[in-house]
Structure 1
Amino acid sequence: MTSEPQDDHWQAANQAPGGHVPAPDEPPRPVPERPVGLAVVGAGYWGPKLVRNAQQTRALRLHWLCDLDEAKARAVLGEYSTVEATASYRRVLADERVGAVAVATPAGAHYALVRAALEAGKHVLVEKPITTSAAEAEELVDLAERRGLVLMCDHTFCYTPAVRRIRELVHGGEIGDVQFFDSVRINLGLVQPDVDVLWDLAPHDLSILDFVLPPGVEPVGVSVQGADPIGAGRACVAYLTVRLSNGALAHCHVNWLSPTKVRTTLIGGSRRTLVWDDLNPQARLAVHDRGVDLTPPDQLTDEIRHRALISYRVGEMVAPALVEQEALRNVMAEFAAAITEGRAPLTDGRAGVRVLQLLEAASLSLELGGVTVPVGAAVRAGAEAR
């Protein structure tokens, strides 16, 4: 990733002018007659991945790679690339061939870059988090909606075949009512210099939670316990709990200090439980017909009243077949499709706002010693302070 924009080009740029859910095995979308012209901003860690996937997406045509370090951008593109490299964001936004911009810079630069692109009439794909505050994100969402532009968040994990299938199973009612969500995202490093482990790792799990929750179930409160055992000056280990509107709990464990890497998510339902192990390519997703049944009150008889009302269900485990696909390729295809079809993308700007509201509530809870903070309370507190 590049550093936060500081030069005249980037400062000038700041002054420049719910959707279709494809099945994992859905055939490719038709390619529009005129591919959407695209510019990628940022040649750091994520930018080159966007470049590669954009060039392999027939519905997009990449014209520019923009970075403060133009030499780095040229190195990413290679000697024979037809894509142009530049350090001038103003030049990119002035190009009439460019209909969309993909932003892959540090989060602190997102607001200015995304706003400039929207004001220039460009659709925008932005890396997570959409901005560093929910209030700023809401401004961008409102601006995009007023101008009829697509604003999409690159919540990459939501475009993996496993998570898309999880969403289908949850929304389709196959697992019954959601009873718990439990995720573990731990590894050794990298300790970030500007954010804590919550803002580094938890956005992945919170975006997945937002993506798969069924309609009518939403987060209402957040509490966090965190620790800094190595003296890094920020939380390196954290346990985040989200209380849901249906009474269920979602729990996320994030950790920079674990010697082993774990990426698992369990979603328990009243009928079935889903287990997603992203590090197990042989069986990433398993559906367990195991759980606890409670006899409904209207079915109680005198005989049943004298016995335990709880019974344990032990059934089969099924591992659905999933077609291995690169998630970022699906991100780029969804971005292009949302633009050409004139609809909201699966992970639109409002999804980005909801994730930021959870992160801000989590930070406030951590600051207050782990108390439960209502979702949106941090936004309201900030507005009152201003």
Structure 2
Amino acid sequence: MIKVAVIGYGYWGPNLVRNFAEAEGASLSAVADLDEAKLELVARRFPGLRTTRHFQDLIQDPDIDAIAIATPVSTHFELGMAALRAGKHLWLEKPMTETSLQARQLAEEAAKRNLVVFVDHTFLYTGAVMKMAEIVRAGELGDVYYYDSTRVNLGLFQRDVNVISDLAVHDFSILDYLLEEHPIAVTASGVNHFRGTPENLAFISLFYDSGPIAHVNVSWLAPVKVRQVLLGGSSKMIKYDDLEPSEKLRVYDKGVSFTDDPKQIQEMRVGYRTGDMWAPKLDAAEALRTASEHFITCIEKSLTPRTDARLGVRVVELIEAATSSMRGKGETVHLSRTGAVG
């Protein structure tokens, strides 16, 4: 059994505690949080579970194999580095760190010590995103033309990160997984409507060398909650609505074709194809349960997680690039194919 301890019992911590308490191959050892009231909640829900206000107690415990960190992103680097240097495998909430330099340092430390780093980009473990990737890799969409995402709601306003770090981070990880390619350029525009707080609305465009373009609209200032993605290809198109209770994914056999045949141009150069729509069956397992068990398996078998440190680094680099563009009033930020800012 892999003994796991969780640091942070705020917004996401309770979900991690519940899943590690129930995940196959895992044994939940302890929970740390600065707030005594939150630790009292842990004690009521998990009688007998060890709790502490001092994260060092968990990091220094030789019986604990892995540390899961669900604290503000500003603390991820310090806590993560301490855990790795103590020989612990590491689970980090997204985004991995505040800066790509910090993320690379954690990745290097983990590689040096042969430890697993798992970044909790949970969407990559949902049935919908896994099915999308399966469809793309099977070539059913043909050439991928575009990715168009709307991820908006009213709040929750964050104090330590902007809306790109909070919401667009999901699309950055999904794009990385679907396209298996890093963008070569990023542009973004956004605004902060309330003095002293991070940007609450942003529009981001990502450009890829192989042809696709991605557009991401994120906001904390929308009257409704929307979680929709359109993925368009030369053969088929996908609509992904994460708020849809039953048919989250719909695949459309729709598209267009062009001809340069002089005989056909006189009639119509553009041809439209409208075929069937189908909703594929999706894995109904809770994404976080799938992710937590994948983390345990990677530790047991010395495997590389789907959402490893390298993915974490690439996503943080995109957050930095998009934020830089946004604060430069839409200035294009160029990236190398491996992710470093050019």
Which category of TM-score, normalised to the shorter sequence, fits these structures?
over 0.9
Residue type matched to 1:104 in 2?
Answer: A
Aligned to 2:273: 313
Shift of 1:70: 4.1
Is residue 314 of structure 2 the alignment partner of residue 354 of structure 1? Answer: yes
Shift of 1:96: 2.3
Aligned to 1:24: none
Distance 1:376 1:71, change over 3 A: farther
Is residue 329 of structure 2 the alignment partner of residue 363 of structure 1? Answer: no
2:74, 2:160 within 8 Å by CA — same for their partners in 1? no
Shift of 1:147: 1.0
Aligned to 1:53: 19
Show the 5 A alignment for 1:83-102.
83-102=49-68
Q: Give per-residue Cα distances to partners, 1:208-262, cap 9 Å, x unaligned.
A: 111211x4x3311110111234556432211011111112210000011111110
Residue type matched to 1:237 in 2?
Answer: L
Distance between the aligned counterparts of 1:367 and 1:149, measured in 2? Answer: 36
Which of 13, 38, 49 matches 1:72? Answer: 38
Aligned to 2:220: 256
2:321, 2:341 within 8 Å by CA — same for their partners in 1? no
Shift of 1:68: 1.9
Residue type matched to 1:115 in 2?
Answer: M
Q: Give per-residue Cα distances to partners, 1:320-372, cap 9 Å, x unaligned.
A: 11232211111101100111121100010111111111110111101111011
Shift of 1:93: 2.0
> For 2:63, what is the secondary structure of its paired residue?
coil
Aligned to 1:339: 299
Aligned to 2:252: 288
1:360, 1:379 within 8 Å by CA — same for their partners in 2? no
Distance between the aligned counterparts of 2:313 and 2:89, measured in 1? Answer: 17
Show the 5 A alignment for 1:86-235.
86-213=52-179, 215=180, 217-231=181-195, 233-235=197-199
Distance between the aligned counterparts of 2:340 and 2:212, measured in 1? Answer: 24
Distance between the aligned counterparts of 1:376 and 1:74, measured in 2? Answer: 48
Is residue 271 of structure 2 the alignment partner of residue 271 of structure 1? Answer: no
> For 1:108, what is the secondary structure of its paired residue?
helix
Q: Give the superposed CA RMSD.
A: 1.9
Distance between the aligned counterparts of 1:294 and 1:112, measured in 2? Answer: 55
> For 1:224, what is the secondary structure of its paired residue?
strand
Distance between the aligned counterparts of 2:203 and 2:253, measured in 1? Answer: 28
Distance between the aligned counterparts of 2:109 and 2:137, measured in 1? Answer: 30
Distance between the aligned counterparts of 1:112 and 1:119, measured in 2? Answer: 11
Could you tell which deviates more after superposition, 52-61 or 80-89? 80-89
Distance between the aligned counterparts of 1:91 and 1:233, measured in 2? Answer: 34
1:38, 1:64 within 8 Å by CA — same for their partners in 2? yes
Distance between the aligned counterparts of 1:348 and 1:83, measured in 2? Answer: 29
User: Structure 2: 5+ residue runs without aligned partners?
Assistant: none
Distance between the aligned counterparts of 1:135 and 1:94, measured in 2? Answer: 26
Distance between the aligned counterparts of 2:286 and 2:100, measured in 1? Answer: 29
Distance 1:159 1:380, change over 3 A: closer
1:39, 1:102 within 8 Å by CA — same for their partners in 2? yes
Q: Give per-residue Cα distances to partners, 1:282-316, cap 9 Å, x unaligned.
A: 21000000011234xxxx54423544432111111
> For 2:64, what is the secondary structure of its paired residue?
coil
Shift of 1:88: 2.4
User: Structure 1: 5+ residue runs without aligned partners?
Assistant: 1-34, 382-386
Distance between the aligned counterparts of 2:56 and 2:192, measured in 1? Answer: 42
Structure 1 vs Structure 2: percent identity of aligned residues? Answer: 41
Distance 1:167 1:64, change over 3 A: same
1:134, 1:379 within 8 Å by CA — same for their partners in 2? no
Shift of 1:77: 3.3
2:333, 2:341 within 8 Å by CA — same for their partners in 1? no
1:287, 1:319 within 8 Å by CA — same for their partners in 2? yes
2:151, 2:228 within 8 Å by CA — same for their partners in 1? yes
Q: Provide TM-score, normalisation by structure 1.
A: 0.84
Distance between the aligned counterparts of 1:309 and 1:302, measured in 2? Answer: 9
Distance 1:38 1:219, change over 3 A: same
Q: What is the count of residue pairs matched by the alignment?
A: 341
Distance between the aligned counterparts of 2:90 and 2:57, measured in 1? Answer: 16
Residue type matched to 2:309 in 1?
Answer: G
Shift of 1:94: 2.5
Q: Give per-residue Cα distances to partners, 1:62-118, cap 9 Å, x unaligned.
A: 101011234422322327623200122222122222111100000000001111111
Could you tell which deviates more after superposition, 310-319 or 92-101? 92-101
Distance between the aligned counterparts of 2:120 and 2:254, measured in 1? Answer: 34
